[in-house]
A and B are shown apart, each in its own frame.
Chain A
Amino acid sequence: MLKAVRTHHGKQEIDMDINMTWLEEHIFHRTLSSDDKIILKGLIETLHYSKGEMILEEGQEPEGLFVLLSGSVLLEHEKNGQKVRIAKLEEGAQFGDMSLFEGGTTSVSVRAGEACVLYKFSQKSMHYMMEYRQSLSNDIMLNTIRSLAQAIRQMNDTQAYTAQYMQGKRA
């Protein structure tokens, strides 16, 4: 159910019901209490992006944690003055978490690969949960570790393949 429309960095931001069942399944991996759900409704923003729109720019300050509810995004990393596409993320993926928890700037640019809907936990929301709702922030941190671990496992494979390829080419 739509409640209001306002702008967020030039993008359409629509207040709509937050899909708690989806969040339980993809982020928290448990059933949330009624109290948790009320808190989350007050902390999450829903953002819509069209295909090709930039969501995060490499090198920018952390904005918060983004969760991909639907659609897909492309990760691009600048190397030798060129933007190289390094990954595509699908429904359920998290991003923005590395700079949020680590304190650095954003390490890649994130662009909508197709029309997508995102849930955003702002930095302020995350700090609130860490202070007053530690069970929620612990679940998010655990999911962040899972998500990073999965990305690293995939990268291990890719890196081993490219190392073999480059050694073969050199030989």
Chain B
Amino acid sequence: MNIDTAWLEEHVFHHALTPLEQRTLRDLVEVHHYAKGESLIVEQSVVDGLLVLKEGSVALRHEQHGQKVQIARLEAGVQLGDMSLFGGGCASATVVALTDCVVYQLPQSALQYMMQYRQSMVQDIMRNSIRNLSGALRRMNDHQAYALQYMQGVHASC
């Protein structure tokens, strides 16, 4: 299937790619389809490289005290797997398709090739990871502050 390099320029690289870089992506990126309800990533498993959600929406579910709790809903454009890819360790949450999804995957082997021969592309991907993770952490900080106020309020009224 054709890789939409213009979409990747807009959502991941944030600048126009050279013809050589576009060809590199067409050679390296894999396209995967997931039906609603399927898991893209399973918590505590090893993720092969980096996933970019091209179409659809997914839920992040994290296990706590034996229960799966939904902690976020993510839409097209988001990167997945970068925490374990760059940060080391296994997947921190299960990612489930809420709708039918199309996913672009850069397997670990492709990223290793890029680290060796297309360093500026890897730098762009790392910058996008930082943007993505920063955005997630900002939302979590906000939610955490709200939850703490809620819990203190509940405690106060008991």
A interface residues, Cβ below 8 angstroms from B: 75, 77-80, 82, 84, 86, 97-99, 101-102, 104, 107-108, 134, 137-138, 141-142, 144-146, 148-153, 155-166, 169
A-B contact pairs, 19 of them (CB 8 A): A75-B141, A77-B142, A79-B142, A79-B146, A97-B130, A98-B134, A101-B131, A102-B131, A107-B138, A142-B126, A145-B129, A145-B130, A148-B83, A150-B87, A152-B137, A155-B141, A156-B92, A159-B147, A162-B150
What is the CA–CA distance of A156 and B62 in the complex, to the nearest angstrom? 7
- Using C-beta atoms within 8 Å of the partner chain, give the interface range for chain B: 35 or more
Cβ contact within 8 Å between A148 and B134: yes
Which of chain A's residues have a CB closer than 8 A to the CB of B64?
157, 160-161, 164
* Residue B6 at the chain A interface, CB threshold 8 Å: no
Cβ contact within 8 Å between B71 and A86: no
Q: CB-nearest residue of chain B relative to A135? A: B119
Cβ contact within 8 Å between B148 and A145: no
One of A82, A107, A145 near B133 (C-beta < 8 A): A145
What are the interface flags for B54-91 relative to A under an 8 Å C-beta threshold, 1 for contact and 0 otherwise?
00000010111101011100000000001110111100
Most buried by A among B84, B119, B145: B145
Q: In the complex, given contacts A145-B87, A153-B83, what are 20 additional A-B residue pairs having Cβ atoms less than 8 angstroms apart?
A: A78-B145, A79-B146, A97-B130, A98-B137, A101-B131, A104-B138, A134-B119, A142-B86, A145-B126, A145-B130, A149-B86, A152-B133, A155-B140, A156-B62, A159-B69, A159-B140, A159-B143, A160-B71, A163-B69, A164-B67
What is the CA–CA distance of A8 and B72 in the complex, to the nearest angstrom? 40
One of A101, A138, A161 near B134 (C-beta < 8 A): A101
Cβ contact within 8 Å between B62 and A157: yes
Most buried by B among A102, A152, A156: A156
Cβ contact within 8 Å between B86 and A158: no
A96 to chain B, nearest CB (A): 11
Cβ contact within 8 Å between A164 and B65: yes
Cβ contact within 8 Å between B88 and A146: yes
Q: Tell me whether A86 and B148 are in contact in the complex, defined as CB-CB below 8 angstroms, given that A145-B86, A160-B71 are known contacts.
A: yes
Which of chain B's residues have a CB closer than 8 A to the CB of A104?
134, 138
Q: CB-nearest residue of chain B relative to A97? A: B130
Which of chain B's residues have a CB closer than 8 A to the CB of A86?
141, 144-145, 148
B158 to chain A, nearest CB (A): 10
Which of chain A's residues have a CB closer than 8 A to the CB of B62?
156-157, 159-160
Q: Tell me whether A164 and B126 are in contact in the complex, defined as CB-CB below 8 angstroms, given that A102-B135, A151-B137 are known contacts.
A: no
Which of chain B's residues have a CB closer than 8 A to the CB of A163?
69-71, 147
Cβ contact within 8 Å between A77 and B141: yes
Cβ contact within 8 Å between B86 and A166: no
B145 to chain A, nearest CB (A): 4
A69 to chain B, nearest CB (A): 22
* Residue B149 at the chain A interface, CB threshold 8 Å: yes
What is the CA–CA distance of A98 and B141 in the complex, to the nearest angstrom? 13
Q: CB-nearest residue of chain B relative to A145? A: B86
Cβ contact within 8 Å between B142 and A169: no
